Amino acid sequence: MTGKRGYGEACPIAHSLDVIGDRWALLVVRELRLGPKRFSDLQAGLPGAGPNVLAQRLRDLEEGGVLRRRVLPPPASVRVYELTEWGAELEPVFGALARWGMRSPVPRTGRISADSMMLGLRTFFDPGDGPVWTATYEFRLDRDVYRLRVVDGRLTELARGDTAGLADVVVAGPRDGVGALLDGEGAPLDGGTAPEGVTVAGDRAALARLLAATDTRQGA
C-alpha cells in the first residue's frame, strides 16, 4: 500500500525531501506554522488539494514525525493537527525558501492567504541597526484577526486572535489592501495615505517602525 517512493539516499537533504518533498506536504506544514488547525481549516488554506491527498499527506507527515494529531479537551473535543518540535524546526527552511522566492525573476502570480501574509512579517522581520522599540499590534483582515508583539526590538509573538483591546495600533481592512501596505505601498505616516479601505488606528509611528524593519527585499 505505502508506495514509499523515496530517494534512498543517506544525504540529509535527500532525507529531508523524503519527509517533506511530496506534493502539498510542505504547504501543509506551512498551514500549521501559526498553530494547530482542523482538517477543514487545512482544506480552506489549500484549495486544489483534495481531501484524499490531504488525508494522505497528513498520514505521511505524522508517520514522518513532522506533525501529530490531537483531540482538544472537552467541550471542544475537536481533532486538530499540530507540528511536533521537529516540525516546528522547519522555520529556517521556510525562511530560506521565502527569501529565495522573493528574488524570483518571474513574477509571483495568484492569491496569498492572510496567514501567509502575516507570516511574511515574521520571516522578514529584522530591525538591523534601527531603533529598539516595544509595541503590540492588531491586524484585522476581513474576518481574520492577528496579534503581533515586539519587545525591545524583537518579535516575540505572532498568533491568530485579537489583543483584547491592548494593541498600541490596530490595522484593519481588506486583505489586498493590508498586503499592499505591508509591501511598502503608501506611507502610513504621511497624513494617513494608507491603501484603499485600510484604516490605521493608534500609534502610527509604531506601525512605521514595524514596516521599516520588515523590508522584504533584504538579503541574508
- Kindly list the residues in this chain that would bind a second copy in the complex (CB under 8 A): 7-17, 19, 21, 23, 26-27, 30, 48, 64-65, 86, 89-90, 92-106, 108-113, 116, 120
Q: What are phi and psi of 171, to 5 degrees?
A: -110, 125
Q: Which C-beta is closer to a second copy: that of 97 or that of 155?
A: 97
Q: Which C-beta is closer to a second copy: that of 182 or that of 200?
A: 182
> In angstroms, rounded to a whole number, what is the distance separating the alpha carbons of residues 114 and 43?
15
Q: Which C-beta is closer to a second copy: that of 65 or that of 192?
A: 65
**Is 56 a residue that touches DNA (CB under 7 A)?**
yes
Q: Which C-beta is closer to DNA: that of 51 or that of 197?
A: 51
Task: Compute the C-alpha angle 101/107/109, nearest 5°.
Answer: 95
Choosing from 53, 102, 145, 172, the residue that interacts with DNA (CB under 7 A) is 53
How near is the Cβ of 43 to a second copy at its closest, in Å?
15
**Is 75 a residue that touches DNA (CB under 7 A)?**
no
**Is 155 a residue that touches DNA (CB under 7 A)?**
no
**Is 24 a residue that touches DNA (CB under 7 A)?**
yes
> In angstroms, rounded to a whole number, what is the distance separating the alpha carbons of residues 169 and 11?
47
**Is 103 a residue that touches DNA (CB under 7 A)?**
no
**Is 49 a residue that touches DNA (CB under 7 A)?**
yes
Count of all residues that appear for the chain in the document: 220
Ranges within 180-219 binding DNA (CB under 7 A): none
Q: Which residues contact residue 15 at a Cβ distance below 8 angstroms, ignoring those fewer than 6 apart?
A: 7, 9
How near is the Cβ of 205 to a second copy at its closest, in Å?
28
Amino acid at 153: G
Q: Which three cell numbers stand for residue 75?
A: 467541550
How near is the Cβ of 25 to DNA at its closest, in Å?
8
CB 67 within 8 A of CB 82: yes
**Is 55 a residue that touches DNA (CB under 7 A)?**
yes
3-class DSSP state of 184: coil
Residue 106 binds which entry of a second copy, DNA, none, CB below 5-8 Å type-dependent: a second copy
> In angstroms, rounded to a whole number, what is the distance separating the alpha carbons of residues 19 and 15?
7
Beta bridge partners of 153: none
**Look-up: residue for cell 497528513?**
58
**Is 51 a residue that touches DNA (CB under 7 A)?**
yes
Q: Which three cell numbers stand for residue 109?
A: 502570480
CA 151 from chain centre, in angstroms, equals 20
- List residues binding DNA (CB under 7 A): 3-5, 22-24, 38-41, 48-53, 55-56, 58, 69, 78-80
